[in-house]
Amino acid sequence: MKKFSYLLAFVCAIIMASCKEELEEINYTPTKGEYIININTDLSNDQGAAITVEGSKLIIDGVIYVVGSSGTPIAACSGYYSKATSSDVKVYSDINYKGKTYKVISVDAFTTSNIKSIDIPDGITSIGEYCFEGCKKLASAKLPSEVEYFGNRVFTNCTKLETVNLPTNIKNIKDYAFYNCTSLKEITIPNSVTFIADSAFYGCESLTSISIPTTVDTLGTSCFEKCSSLENVFLTEGLDTMGYHVFHGCTSLTNIEFPSSMSNVPDYTFFGCTGLQTVKLPTSIKKLSTQCFAYCESLKEINLPESIDTIKASAFMGCKSLETITLPENLTELMPQTFQICENLKSINIPSKVTKIGAYCFHGCNSLLSIEIPNGITELGPFTFGGAKSLIHVTLPEGITTLGECCFTGCIALETIELPSTTDSIGKDCFADDESLIKFVCKAEKAPKLGVTVFETSGAKNGTLFVPTAAIDSYKADEQWAKWKIIESIENMTDENANLNSENN
């Protein structure tokens, strides 16, 4: 203790002699090897910091600096003193001590402090990870252009940050760099940047426009997710990699054009972009991934290039305004839920190479008037057309063997359906609640196996079932097939048969 008192008195004497200004000792108990002083004098004067081989800390205008070990003329700005009163902070680039200048090369550790602004001078080349995380009063930050290292989570949860200039030398904008900066309105990404990492601008709900420079080749997962005010995005040639959820929840985004350097639209890219109206895809795109345009509720139409050979599950699920779409001829499968709840979809072509339509593919497509199924399909999955309330007539091609459960359930306008001779099984509730169904044609020579309640609350009790003449008895012998009021030979089938039966009942 005596040793510390002697050293502190000695330090003060030096400063008094050189600066001729009174110094105020901070009420703080230093740890071993630390000498804490508060200096408001001209930095061109000797600061008088005690230097030890372990390194020393000092406070200048509320900012903590760590000075390098003896003989190493460098220093680091290491945060904000908890008892400091100034909220507008200036970092100094040089600290002078006994004729030697200690160059400040990095800034770090202002996490959760109450600062409102920060001015970092030229010459500093590193801003450390978590540097300003949780500084919820920080409104502006001036950064030097020389910064090369810009760490993870630098401004995470700086909810009042409105303006910041990104240094022109940084190569990457790292993970969570501006995560949840809800007041950030604009930012310019410099041409030095090649990579924008995961969640870099996640939740920047005041950001209205962003331009991606040609130097950027990668956008990380969720990097602009929930930027709900983002109206304009400019993707430039050179971008070839995108993570998941990149623009998820950007509800103000109205149009997007992909560069030809991209080959796919990744999972959830535009999920929940409820304002998106126009999408332009180049011929380089080969794949639309899972839920990439799901719940884009304002999207009325989209032109898909013939280069696309894969559309993954739920790609257009919930696109309530989508009225028409032309599918590329190279598609071989329609995945589950691809167009589920596309309430205004009126027509769609199914390419001839498609061999399978997945579960719920057109479920809830209330405006779908007709559908033409190509010959190569062998199976319709569960709920494929369930709830397609405007569907009136359906003819299924030869080759189909299986109708999944609830495949046409809730198709309340469905009047006629024709099944091919290859049909051998129909899942439970397949035509349940199809109250308008009055004409059912099944060409199978042997009555297909039925799941439970296939015709529950359908029009069967008032309608006509047409089957091959030789198979009439086998259909009548089945408890569920026998629910049809009339079972007749296909040879006697005319359009008037079903209409007459309906009128008589």
* DSSP symbols for 113-154: ---SEEE--TT--EE-TTTTTT-TT--EEE--TT--EE-TTT
Q: Measure the CA–CA gap between 400 and 377, rounded to whole angstroms.
A: 6
pLDDT digits (tens, 9 = 90+) for 458-480: 999 999 999 999 999 999 999 99
Q: Give me the pLDDT at residue 63, please.
A: 82
One-letter amino acid at 50 equals A
| 265's tokens | 């639209």
Q: Give me the pLDDT at residue 326, please.
A: 92
DSSP structural state of residue 11: H
Confidence of residue 147 (pLDDT cuts 50, 70, 90): very high
Least confident of 47-51, 202-206, 295-299, 406-410: 47-51
Q: Give me the pLDDT at residue 94, please.
A: 83
With CA atoms as reference, report the closest residue to 295 among 270, 326, 324, 323.
270
Residue 1 has pLDDT above 70, yes or no: no
Q: Of all residues in the chain, what percent are helix, strand and coil, respectively (each to 5)? A: 10, 20, 70
Q: Measure the CA–CA gap between 316 and 309, rounded to whole angstroms.
A: 16
Q: Give me the pLDDT at residue 207, please.
A: 96
- Full-model pTM: 0.84
Q: Give me the pLDDT at residue 102, please.
A: 78
What is the length of the chain? Answer: 505
Q: Give me the pLDDT at residue 71, please.
A: 55
pLDDT digits (tens, 9 = 90+) for 181-218: 999 999 999 999 999 999 999 999 999 999 999 999 99
- In the chain, where are the structural domains located? 1-107, 117-253, 355-505
Q: Distance between terminal CA atoms of the chain?
A: 107
Q: Measure the CA–CA gap between 294 and 271, rounded to whole angstroms.
A: 5
Burial classification of residue 79, based on how many CB atoms lie within 10 Å of its CB (0-12 exposed, 13-18 middle, 19 or more buried): buried
Report how far apart, in Å, the C-alpha atoms of 137 and of each of 111, 141, 179, 391 are. 12, 11, 15, 58
Confidence of residue 97 (pLDDT cuts 50, 70, 90): low
Q: Give me the pLDDT at residue 46, please.
A: 35
**Is residue 78 classed as helix, strand or coil in its secondary structure?**
strand
Q: Determine the topology of domain 355-505 in CATH.
A: 3.80.10
117-253 shares its CATH topology with 355-505 = yes
Confidence of residue 69 (pLDDT cuts 50, 70, 90): low
Q: Measure the CA–CA gap between 121 and 119, rounded to whole angstroms.
A: 6
Cα dihedral 195/199/203/208 (nearest 10): 10
The residues, ordered by sequence, that sit 6+ positions from 81 with a Cβ below 8 Å of its Cβ are: 26, 59, 62, 63, 64
Q: Compute how many other C-beta atoms are within 10 angstroms of the C-beta atom of residue 31.
A: 8
The residue with tokens 């409820």 is 274
Residue 317 has pLDDT above 60, yes or no: yes
Looking at the DSSP bridge assignments, the partners of residue 380 are 357, 403
Element housing 503 (H / E): helix 495-504
The stretch 163-171 carries a mean pLDDT of 92
Q: Determine the topology of domain 117-253 in CATH.
A: 3.80.10
With CA atoms as reference, report the closest residue to 251 among 279, 273, 276.
273
pLDDT digits (tens, 9 = 90+) for 428-467: 999 999 999 999 999 999 999 999 999 999 999 999 999 9
The stretch 316-340 carries a mean pLDDT of 96
With CA atoms as reference, report the closest residue to 47 among 101, 124, 108, 119.
101
With CA atoms as reference, report the closest residue to 328 among 286, 273, 362.
286
